Amino acid sequence: MAEEPERVTILAKSFTEAAMEFHRSKMSARGYRMEGRIEPHLFQVVDGLEPAKDMFDGTPYFAVTFVRKGS
Q: What is the pTM (predicted TM-score) of this model? A: 0.80
Q: Are residues 25 and 45 in contact, defined by beta-carbon separation less than 8 angstroms?
A: no
The distance in angstroms from the start CA to the end CA of the chain is 21
Q: Distance between CA atoms of 12 and 6, rounded to whole angstroms? A: 20
pLDDT in tens, the chain (71 residues): 367 889 999 999 999 999 999 899 999 999 999 999 999 999 999 999 999 999 999 999 999 999 998 76
pLDDT digits (tens, 9 = 90+) for 6-17: 999 999 999 999
**What letter does residue 43 receive in the DSSP assignment?**
-
